[in-house]
Structure 1
């Protein structure tokens, strides 16, 4: 603190609050250091820089507290849990939790925190969001198929079992129907995901520039410079495209050979990396592999679809089996919703409740239809 400024008036409540802030800053700095220890290169440097920023915030509270700093406090339960995960795992899940932790900063409303500290916390959220996005992109293809498959299995087979059970058929029939629904749905999901992802990748591959096109450069008419048309077709305006094309041909004239161009540096000379709209490796990575998506969908649909059948496999029947199946499916829906919420940086509670509402809504409608059909057949 500035020695010329008088010490701020403090109350016991202020001291307690500042000590909590101090503990939180220390815990968050430790989280970033633990995350950094599991990474290398640029990501490691970024995380260590975040830890250094939290250290500056820590010093602010130490200066305010002075002799009232007391014994070190533990961070709040959420921060301690985050630190536990960072020490042992350190993946995108932990980064998503760290993003949510940064978004909960109250420095904007804290009169004893500086405007710079409040701004730091806002920027930290964006930094962590960007780091987490890298992991989300790597996960998104297979993760989408897995979450979709598991939820589809839970909801569709619960609806099937409840609908058939409500019609009044025997327990054995319900069990056979549930197992048949599991196999049919898992195979359908796997096949559908394979075709979907494979088709998407083929569309992306069709948009990938032909690396052999670079060999046409020495034979272009420099006066008309049709290379500029390539850049314009890729989204550049006419003037920028002309400047880029002139630069490429000038480099070609200087080197005197196509081999002087690097595919990495010049984007195969014909299509630069910044003009392809993001198609290529990153887009392929985001959508995942066709087999990976198919296998994930099959396995996760089956793992979800087996849950409503478990009570019947264990010999239960009637109302008991229905209640147990609903409870098990409800727990699974809540967990998948919460995990999706955490990874997407939104409220896990909201996502869990949404999953429950959708799942039980669909199952409830099917159950009512089963009751109607059962009454009609009777």
Structure 2
């Protein structure tokens, strides 16, 4: 009986050691991820990421202390953490941050027997820090990212639907190619022009809301006892009392005072992105997406085999864009991928049925 009890304790001890070594390896890998991401950044973002790396090393020290001499027997981190470290070294930081955000959210320290309450709390805070960094990155690239992702999706759906609609109408390969390439060029130009106008207009609207520089320089010359400075702050949304206190504080700093920027303001470039960048990425993305359904026909295929290849290429690309949106938004990629595929497939089938209904058999 004693031997069985001793054997059971020994097995449990070995199991714990394996679990601790895995936790140690994961924390070291996560620390590496943050260091690799920090190497791509400058200033405050770099400092934040390096501090997160140090925090993960603090957690690693906890498992190293529990392991004692056993810590010298390293174990590989999980595939997920090794993959994150690989991606951090080679790919864009926003994409990796979105994955890290999900990894932090899935931490099991709330239930891990030998993890401390402070470690579990740390992981939740780390998740919020990563969420904030990812949000800043998304804001900076929002215009170009939106144009690229949705450009590919629009090109895929619209041109695949167009190609199937023409095929459903009984058109030959020549007409399919003409329709597909015309749809590609027309759609890409339309998308680029639309993005350029949209982003330029948004920049102009933001610029129109910026305070007048002449108003800034006029503050030192205001009559301290009779002026309308408080109305500026009321127009920006402050209460009458808050506006009066703010105006008094500014006037007390005269004659060197200037009209402060609106509280909580953001740089327009960070929010909107570049108009030319959005237009260019939209043109290229739409063109790439629209090219995929036409590729089999350009390669000389025709009939059912060409349609099958075009469908497979388009389906894979739709899954890819849906997954990308899911990852970058910090959500699960599979539901977004399935949704994107369902929408694209439904649009293509509907257009094909319309082509069959209003067929032009013998054309081309």
* Aligned counterpart, 1:60: 62
- What is the 5 A alignment of 1:172-321? 172-252=174-254, 255=255, 260-261=256-257, 269-274=258-263, 278=265, 282-321=267-306
Correspondence 1:100 to 2:102:
yes
- The offset of 1:74, in angstroms, is 1.1
TM-score normalized by structure 2?
0.91
Q: Describe the SS at the equivalent of 2:317.
A: helix
| Structure 1 runs of 4+ with >6 Å offset | 375-378
Correspondence 1:372 to 2:361:
no
* Aligned counterpart, 2:337: 352
- For residues 170 and 360 of structure 2, what CA distance do their matches in structure 1 show? 9
| More displaced stretch, 343-352 vs 87-96 | 87-96
TM-score normalized by structure 1?
0.88
Unaligned runs of 5+ in 1: 1-8, 262-268
Q: Describe the SS at the equivalent of 1:108.
A: coil
Unaligned runs of 5+ in 2: 1-10
Correspondence 1:154 to 2:141:
no
Distance 1:377 1:324, change over 3 A: closer
- For residues 308 and 106 of structure 2, what CA distance do their matches in structure 1 show? 38
* Aligned counterpart, 1:163: 165
Correspondence 1:132 to 2:117:
no
- The offset of 1:75, in angstroms, is 0.9
- For residues 36 and 360 of structure 2, what CA distance do their matches in structure 1 show? 62
- For residues 23 and 227 of structure 1, what CA distance do their matches in structure 2 show? 59
- The offset of 1:82, in angstroms, is 1.2
* Aligned counterpart, 1:115: 117
- The offset of 1:215, in angstroms, is 3.2
Distance 1:41 1:216, change over 3 A: closer
- For residues 221 and 69 of structure 1, what CA distance do their matches in structure 2 show? 72
| More displaced stretch, 283-292 vs 45-54 | 283-292
Alignment deviations for residues 150-204 of structure 1 (CA, whole Å, 9 cap, x no partner): 1100000000000110111111111111111111111111111111111111111
| More displaced stretch, 211-220 vs 76-85 | 211-220
- For residues 217 and 200 of structure 2, what CA distance do their matches in structure 1 show? 30
Alignment deviations for residues 25-58 of structure 1 (CA, whole Å, 9 cap, x no partner): 1111111122223333322221221112111211
